[in-house]
Chains A and B, each alone.
Chain A
Amino acid sequence: MHNQESTAAGRHAETAPAATDIRMETRKLSVFYGDTAGVNDVSLSMYNKKITALIGPSGCGKTTFLRSLNRMHDLTRGARVTGQALLDGSDIYAPKVDPVTVRRRVGMVFQKPTPFPTMSIYDNVVAGLKLVGIRNRAVLDEVAEKALRGAALWDEVKDRLKAPGGGISGGQQQRLSIARALAVEPEVLLMDEPTSSLDPQSTIRIEELMSELKKQVTIVIVTHNMQQASRISDYTAFFYVGDLVEFNPTAKMFTNPNQKRTEEYITGRFG
């Protein structure tokens, strides 16, 4: 399933990739809060080592959808998911699947940086490994450096790895959160508006980082920023009031969308 050749198809973003390139896929996935559906019958494919952007006005269900991809709703009171979400072809909502295993493979970065407040930068990065019992110092050191380099943070913090994780700037904290997510080597990385609380420079750093990361991981990102979606993503999905309105390669989406509503939203006429 870890298909290396799949990147070849991806170079031609206009041509639809083969089905084997699908890393995650939802089938008629709905999320209910009580009786109201936040996401309605969404079937969407996320391609291997590509960036899929989810766009749409506030309250359209894109974050709700994103959180259903690593079973984050399990802990939300009154939330219920129906339909399927397939990771490499198997349903993560199947009865015997442990959500902990799912989240190990599908990592997440949140809107606000979330360093663990009592841990050092180093401990934050290796938290996902250390807290499941990996204590080998050499292994942890290596993982920490690799993850911090991967998140383009190494040079800034390598001399103060023991400093508190909450003591660095907001942009650095967000890259720390990304490094922490990368350290457990997820196959899919979900990003929920990862740059919305950051200044333009930090935003650019993280966007550059994402283009690097997609060599290894599949990324699904929620963004409110149209330019960001068009700059970084390979595919774009437009959500509106819980429905998936349109899903297409980003280039097509931003030049010649199929749906009128997509065009209106992208050009800023509503939303």
Chain B
Amino acid sequence: MTAFNGNTTKTGSAALATPVLSLGRRYWRDRLMLGLLASSTILVLVPLFIVIAYVVVQGIGALNWDFFTQELGSPTRAHTGQPTGLVHTIIGTLVVDSMALIIAVPLGIGAGVMLAEYPDHRLNPLLRLLNDTLNGMPAILKGMLAFALIVKPMGTFSGLAGAVALTFVMLPIIARATESALDIIPWSIREAGLALGLPRWRVILSTIIPAAKVGLVTGILIAFARAAGEAAPLLFTSFGNNYLPSRWTGWLFGPVDTLPQRLYSLAISPYKQWHEMGWAAGIVLLVMVILLFITARVTVRRA
């Protein structure tokens, strides 16, 4: 109580007096900062919602049964009101994206583990350099790389080439995300495993990676979302196709249609009906990515 009467030492009373005076100011300053943060969040979210809303408004009219069951065919189909749709594009996207994921996930996680767990390894600086280069490389160049590696030798555009191009998009993102997810696992967990007489790889595989699971899945999702939206790497790899392939091997070894690349071709076409279908393709792509995010999140939380 003496403190409030000012009977303590000089520093004591000053230290007590200051907060009493500034509490009100602190309160308002706190409110102000919170307000600023809230408004910047809104500022970021508003354009996002505008984009989504605009895409939906423009494209919703083209979303009908035919859209999900018919192949595109020639422009006359849309002109003359014959059934036309993007079923081959939706399946093609699923095929190419999953193939890319199957290649990129083990490679990306492997690279990330190497970056995070073996910082002293001789090859580590080289791997980091390559990864950063790949990360900064324009997407169209990744398409050219896949063109040179797969399309040229095979002599044909293919779903496989598209998948490889998208792998180049996913790889550096997954590797980086894996590295940071592993970095935040306390060193003590590794030591505890090693102290049990477990080999290093076993410790990483059975204790570190499970502990970093949420971070890994997030990284894979971000990489997938990024790759799923890329049109440039697919332009001269999977190329595009107006029709369903005649045999299932066509999905892998023949030209394959994908949503972002189809969206682009529809958008630059001179046909009004195709423009509307392009918007609808945008909706499908958005829904696909959002659905994937929700499923992955729920699965990770459950496990």
Which A residues are closer than 8 A to B by beta carbons?
Answer: 70, 72, 75, 77, 100-105, 107-108, 110, 112, 114, 116-119, 127-128, 131-132, 177, 180-181, 184
Contact = CB atoms under 8 A, between A and B. Distances in A.
Contacts, number: 70
Report the 5 A-B pairs with minimum CB-CB distance, sorted nearest first.
Answer: A104-B197, A128-B196, A108-B195, A114-B192, A118-B210
B191 interface: yes
A184 B192 contact: no
Interface string B178-192: 000000000011111
A118 B213 contact: yes
Contacts of B207: 116, 118-119, 127
Given A128-B196, A131-B198, A132-B202, A72 B191 contact: yes
A117 B196 contact: no
Contacts of B190: 75
A75 B194 contact: yes
B191 A184 contact: no
Interface string B192-206: 111111110010001
A104 to B, nearest CB: 3
Tier of interface size on chain B: 20 to 34
A102 to B, nearest CB: 8
A70 B195 contact: yes
B120 A184 contact: no
A130 B189 CA distance: 17
Contacts of A181: 195-196
B193 to A, nearest CB: 7
Given A77-B119, A103-B194, A114-B188, 8 more contacts: A72-B195, A103-B195, A107-B196, A118-B207, A118-B210, A118-B213, A127-B206, A127-B207
Interface in B136-165: none
B189 A101 contact: no
Contacts of B189: 114, 116-117
19 contacts: A72-B195, A77-B120, A100-B199, A103-B197, A104-B197, A107-B195, A110-B188, A110-B191, A114-B189, A114-B192, A116-B192, A116-B193, A116-B207, A118-B207, A118-B210, A119-B207, A127-B198, A131-B196, A131-B198
A110 B198 contact: no
Contacts of B192: 110, 114, 116, 177, 180
Contacts of A101: 197
A132 B199 CA distance: 9
A132 to B, nearest CB: 7
Nearest to B196: A128
Contact of A128 (B188, B197, B213): B197
B276 to A, nearest CB: 49
A116 B189 CA distance: 7
Nearest to A108: B195
B60 interface: no
A131 B207 CA distance: 10
B195 A100 contact: no
A128 B193 CA distance: 8
Contacts of B55: none
B211 interface: yes
